[in-house]
Structure 1
Amino acid sequence: MPFTLPHVLRNFVVACSLAAAVGSTWAEAQPPSASLNSALDADLFYELLVGEVSAQSGDFVAAYALFLDAATKSHSPQLYERAVQLAMASRDGNAALKAAQAWTRAHPGAVDANRYQVQILVNLNRMPEAIAPLKRNMGQMAIADKLATIEMLPRYFARASDRKLAATTIEQILSPEIRSVTTGPLAWAVIGQARMHAGDYPGALLAARRGTALDSHSAAAATLALALVAHAPSEAEPMVLAYLSNRPTPEYRMGYIRYLIGKQRTVDAYGQVIETNVQSPDFPDAWLLRGSLEIQNKKNAEAQVSLDTYVGLRIAGRGTSDIGDMDRPLVTAYVLLAQLAEQNGAFDQALGYLGKIQSRQELVRIAARQADLLARQGKMDDALKLLRTLPEYEPGTAREKVNAEVQLLRDHKQLTEAYKAVSEGLRRFPEDLDLKYDMAMLAERIGEFAEMERLLDQIIATKPDYHAAYNALGYSLADRNIRLDEARLLINKALGYAPKDPFILDSLAWLEFRSGNVTEAVKLLRGAFQERPDAEIAAHLGEVLWTMEQREEAKAIWNEGMRLNPANETLLETTKRLRSTQ
């Protein structure tokens, strides 16, 4: 295998550094004559050089033998590790195990040595063989090393294919530790984690209880209980709540809050967030979460205070090394503050908040929000200039800018200009089918139906599984009440690619309605709306119900659609047209 001399020299410099370090250690441990030490150092230097040359040549077997010999002579953990790595590079698990075992014998408390030994045995599918040496080595360790080893055990067995065997093996390794007040809580937590990964949730819950019984303040046992709360809430949640009464770290309470939010228990979550603010007022994340919950619950004044507090804490904690791109939570805080200002009609203040955001990743998204605010103040030219002059830091930024401009013009009902913008974008990105699809949808909205059909046909010819094109074309034909047989073929083709898509089912329902199959239409629309509550589906379902003289239900469905999206054009047009016929 070819190799370059600089690479060999670089590795040799590392080897020489190791040899120098172990040479001095050896000299302290062994006080023979200086000439003997010099000879030993020279031998090590030569052995390491030959070993590195062998490794760079691809002769891992020879390199392994040389490094293991050097490690045995010097007792250097670094050289033992290099020997293990060389054996692994040669895919010789038994040789790697031999080196790791030698390392463990030389340094019984070495966490890395034990990690390698166990991981090699796991890869060799010889997990039970790890029990005796680990128990023996842990018996010789100081408490701190023992706790570190216990904590690392789950990582050692992370790649085990037989998780039940891994859990049993871990339990046997830790059997001497589970009664100790010092090591027992952590040992039980690790056993519980292994059981949980093996799908044994009752066993994991029992482990959490036993760890808590040894020490009710054990963070490890409490963390296991928190992990189990999603699987056994009635049993695990009381343990979590008991631990919360001990004033735990804010990170632990935030983990419980995330569980509560996931279960839509927002009232409980809000109470826990406030408790976090009281106990840890300088913990920023809780203030951001509190502000988000307050916005969700329309407590805008309280949200303003919470978000201002979060931003203040974050800015105070930012060092000079943090200047540059903001992380996502800080970006989120400014976006939420801008949202509050926008809801209050303070557009300039909202623009100010958005202007504080420094994030290349969020560049176009934030600029699109700013452009929308400018357009709403009658400054469309400024809005378009903002988007068009954005720097293109990333390869995809130019495409994102086209999207943002088209969306801005579409949202502000400048459909002809939006059509021109997407057409220009398609000239820049002629292979982009999503842009072509957007152009087709805009062509339909400005009444250019032939152009819409031409574009959708092109998409289908280029990418036959682009099911949205089949659906759009089929729906358009059904909506115009023309070529209904062709519409059915197209919509069924789309359903073949996405059988449960609620929007395609909405199209099929609309086709059934246009074909006079009202009962089938309402059945399909109810299913689609249940699967995906959406204003456009609500418009269609309400219209079908209205024609069936079920007008109270139709109004209720429309009201729900208005709640979902009060600006939906289809819904607004439908309700205006049909309510005027009462």
Structure 2
Amino acid sequence: MTTSTEISRDMMNFRLRHSILAIFPLLAACAHAPQPVADSAPVHGGKTNLEQIAEAPKLDLPNVALTDRLLYEFLLGDIAAQRNKPELAAHVYLDLAKTTRDPRVARRAAQLAYEARQFDAAVDAFKLWEELEPSSPLAKQMLLTLLLSGGKLQEARPYLDSVLQADPANAGRTFMSVYPLAARSTPDKSVVLDWTIEVTHPYPKVAEGHWAVAQAAAAAGKNDLAQAEIHEAVTLRPEWDAAAVFEAELYLNSDPQKGLALLKEFLDDHPDNKELRLFYARALLNQKQFSASRDQFERLLKSSPGSPDLAFAVALISMQMGEYDRAEQELKQALSGGGKEGNAVHFYLAQLNEARQNDAVALEEYRQVKGGEYAYAARLREIALLDKVGKYAEAREVLHGVVAKNDQQRVQLIMVDAQLLREDKKYQDSYQVLTQGLAKFPDNPELLYQTAMAADKLDKLELFEQLIRKLMKIAPDDAHAYNALGYSLLDRNMRIPEAMKLVEKAYQLAPDDAAIIDSMGWGNYLLGNLDKSLEFLKRAFAANPDPEIAAHLGEVLWKRGDKDGARKVWADSAKANPDNEALKAVMKRFLP
């Protein structure tokens, strides 16, 4: 690390090698031609800081003798800056500026402190520069910017007033610049609002001032004030599309029809504003006004006929409206345009064919999705379609080629793999996949539940209960965990009172879940409460005509003497689910 002592030693060697006559021009150059204070845009004026510095008027300079001490400090400051020691350079130059009262040195000190991100020193330097060179607009602008960025709104106020008074014609641009600085630096949005109202109040005819107040009011949750102020801005500048959009946005959540009407009114007056028309089209889409939204996208497409993105948007809306033939043509148009990513188009062509129940074509389209954001979803749909026709091995082959991007996807792939094996009746293999996954993600609630259910299927009752109780601790509001253990005990006719407490807890957490309602019905049946049992089971079956619920409902109907009702429930369910084991077992018991 280079210290000030080392820099001083270098300076002594420097002085031994060079005469004062060689050094003096260097100091003059440093004093007269400093670097720009910042490369950010000025508050107003349209010129860069460098341009403004270059055009600065000649100054009345102090008559200060170049003593050895000053020479030493100039050298110290410049060598520190050259050796990438901005804090030391800024400190030295600020001391020099206070000593010499030279505006050029103050300007250089302000630059160094700003670049070193020393807020307090930069404020002091800019204040000194502004004091020594009061005619410099850049000094005021940068000081104003610095104070606002530091959240010192009231301290910045007189400098803002000075900037506004010096250039009232550019007051609108100034308000557009200073409001974001104040908003970002001050957490209390009500403070920002009050300050913005105060500084813009003397300029009632400046639309940007009302825009700034509207922005501040919206951020502070004062929507009525925001709506009134932005409306005033639009009235003052009726051609200002950004203000028109903001006014519409303020209404789209609370009164969407008014927000849409405002956008339409502005578009009627400015029909060639493509950006606003695109915003209007999207706003209509968000309000599920699909036909009107598509009309707007089509108008944009007519003005840009080669845009695959617009054709793609029109196609997706047609899909949403169920107009699949039209959507297919529009998707193919988007695909032929070449600009829209082909992977996305193939994905939606696959979705379209799935909606048409044309699974073979859908499968081929999913396979055309080779990468991009839709690749993962396409592989899952490809696996699902193969699973649907019983091609479990092929589905697993596809699955094992999928590269997960995060732990959520890794867990999902583990569970899909286990499901494929389970549907292929390879229960032990399915259990093995889940236990291996659980070893990697021991506290994942979904994996805990699925592994527990696989253990239950293999009659590993102790492990099943252990996993479910761990899940209850991790996710105490998981209704399915309580239901799984409670129903497992009921199904085995074990610890019935405890099982009912678990099922009742699940029912409290999820009273509309059909599986849990079924468990309540079955538990009451085992307790001999047939009427209550029938009530629960009818509710469960109405919510979800699952074959296992049908098996339970039929059995209770039979026990209550309604054998015809039981036969009908079983027969109807068996027709729809001919391979269900629970249904076949109950029918075998009662209908030998």
- Which of the five TM-score ranges fits, normalised by the shorter chain? 0.5 to 0.7
* 1:116 and 2:142 aligned: no
Distance in 2 separating the partners of 1:544 and 1:208: 62
Distance in 2 separating the partners of 1:338 and 1:426: 33
| 1:475/1:491 contact within 8 Å kept | yes
Distance in 1 separating the partners of 2:390 and 2:222: 62
> Over aligned residue pairs, what C-alpha RMSD do you find?
5.5
| 1:189/1:221 contact within 8 Å kept | yes
3-state DSSP class of the match of 1:199?
Answer: coil
Corresponding residue for residue 162 of structure 1: 188
Which of 482, 485, 501 pairs up with 1:470? Answer: 482
Corresponding residue for residue 347 of structure 1: 360
* Shift in Å, 1:298: 1.6
| 1:474/1:491 contact within 8 Å kept | yes
| 2:285/2:293 contact within 8 Å kept | yes
* 1:147 and 2:173 aligned: yes
Corresponding residue for residue 405 of structure 1: 417
3-state DSSP class of the match of 2:358?
Answer: coil
* 1:222 and 2:234 aligned: no
* 1:86 and 2:117 aligned: yes
| 1:222/1:239 contact within 8 Å kept | yes
* Shift in Å, 1:193: 1.7
Which of 362, 367, 370 pairs up with 1:357? Answer: 370
* Shift in Å, 1:101: 5.1
Distance in 1 separating the partners of 2:2 and 2:506: 56
Corresponding residue for residue 209 of structure 2: 187
Corresponding residue for residue 262 of structure 2: 239
Which of 447, 452, 464 pairs up with 1:455? Answer: 464
User: Any idea what the Cα deviations from partners look like across 1:543-571, whole Å, max 9, x if unmatched?
Assistant: 9799899xxxx9xxx9xxx9xxx99x99x
| 2:264/2:280 contact within 8 Å kept | no
* Shift in Å, 1:169: 1.8
Residues 28/44 of structure 1: CA separation in 2 closer, same or farther (3 Å cut): farther
1:363-374 matches, within 5 Å, as: 364-374=376-386
Corresponding residue for residue 199 of structure 1: 221
Residues 393/240 of structure 1: CA separation in 2 closer, same or farther (3 Å cut): closer
| 2:315/2:331 contact within 8 Å kept | yes
Distance in 2 separating the partners of 1:300 and 1:427: 45
| 1:67/1:79 contact within 8 Å kept | no
Give the letter for the 1:200 counterpart.
K
| 1:208/1:225 contact within 8 Å kept | yes
* Shift in Å, 1:455: 2.8
Distance in 2 separating the partners of 1:196 and 1:250: 26
| 1:471/1:507 contact within 8 Å kept | yes
Corresponding residue for residue 321 of structure 1: none
| Segment drifting more, 109-118 vs 292-301 | 109-118
| 2:387/2:395 contact within 8 Å kept | yes
Corresponding residue for residue 26 of structure 2: none
Corresponding residue for residue 499 of structure 2: 487
| 1:367/1:386 contact within 8 Å kept | yes
* Shift in Å, 1:50: 3.4
| Segment drifting more, 143-152 vs 154-163 | 143-152
* Shift in Å, 1:535: 4.8
Distance in 2 separating the partners of 1:525 and 1:164: 56
* Shift in Å, 1:147: 2.0
Distance in 2 separating the partners of 1:278 and 1:542: 59
Which of 305, 309, 316 pairs up with 2:339? Answer: 316
| Segment drifting more, 107-116 vs 201-210 | 107-116
Residues 19/195 of structure 1: CA separation in 2 closer, same or farther (3 Å cut): same
Distance in 2 separating the partners of 1:42 and 1:281: 70
| 1:337/1:350 contact within 8 Å kept | no
- Report the TM-score when normalising by structure 1: 0.67
* Shift in Å, 1:74: 5.6
- Report the TM-score when normalising by structure 2: 0.66
Which of 33, 38, 50 pairs up with 2:80? Answer: 50
* Shift in Å, 1:400: 4.7
3-state DSSP class of the match of 1:192?
Answer: helix
Distance in 2 separating the partners of 1:278 and 1:511: 60
Distance in 2 separating the partners of 1:521 and 1:101: 84
Corresponding residue for residue 442 of structure 1: 454
1:371-386 matches, within 5 Å, as: 371-376=383-388, 379-386=391-398
Corresponding residue for residue 510 of structure 1: 519
| 1:138/1:146 contact within 8 Å kept | no
Residues 439/73 of structure 1: CA separation in 2 closer, same or farther (3 Å cut): same
User: Any idea what the Cα deviations from partners look like across 1:263-287, whole Å, max 9, x if unmatched?
Assistant: 4444444444444434555565544
Which of 318, 325, 338 pairs up with 1:301? Answer: 325
**Is there any run of 5+ residues in structure 2 with no aligned partner, and where?**
8-29, 38-49
Residues 76/285 of structure 1: CA separation in 2 closer, same or farther (3 Å cut): farther
Distance in 2 separating the partners of 1:540 and 1:83: 73
Distance in 1 separating the partners of 2:105 and 2:351: 65
Whose radius of gyration is greater, 1 or 2?
A: 2
**Is there any run of 5+ residues in structure 1 with no aligned partner, and where?**
9-15, 318-325
Corresponding residue for residue 13 of structure 1: none
User: Any idea what the Cα deviations from partners look like across 1:42-62, whole Å, max 9, x if unmatched?
Assistant: 976741543698968x88994
User: Any idea what the Cα deviations from partners look like across 1:488-538, whole Å, max 9, x if unmatched?
Assistant: 33345557xxx6545668626631563138669969997x99xxx975799
* Shift in Å, 1:228: 0.9
Distance in 2 separating the partners of 1:191 and 1:436: 53
| 2:129/2:139 contact within 8 Å kept | no
| 2:468/2:485 contact within 8 Å kept | no
* Shift in Å, 1:99: 4.6
Corresponding residue for residue 211 of structure 1: 233
User: Any idea what the Cα deviations from partners look like across 1:334-358, whole Å, max 9, x if unmatched?
Assistant: 3222212344526356434543332
User: Any idea what the Cα deviations from partners look like across 1:59-105, whole Å, max 9, x if unmatched?
Assistant: 899479469879952676995374386334xxx5xx55445656776
3-state DSSP class of the match of 2:473?
Answer: coil
Give the letter for the 2:323 counterpart.
K
Give the letter for the 1:385 counterpart.
E
Residues 233/462 of structure 1: CA separation in 2 closer, same or farther (3 Å cut): closer
* Shift in Å, 1:242: 0.7
| 1:163/1:197 contact within 8 Å kept | yes
Give the letter for the 1:305 counterpart.
Q
* Shift in Å, 1:222: 0.8
Residues 53/435 of structure 1: CA separation in 2 closer, same or farther (3 Å cut): same
Distance in 2 separating the partners of 1:470 and 1:344: 37
Distance in 1 separating the partners of 2:326 and 2:125: 62
Distance in 2 separating the partners of 1:521 and 1:77: 88
| 2:148/2:185 contact within 8 Å kept | no
Distance in 2 separating the partners of 1:3 and 1:488: 76
The aligned length equals 513
Corresponding residue for residue 11 of structure 2: none
Identity %: 19
Give the letter for the 2:324 counterpart.
N
Distance in 1 separating the partners of 2:266 and 2:287: 20
| Segment drifting more, 388-397 vs 454-463 | 388-397
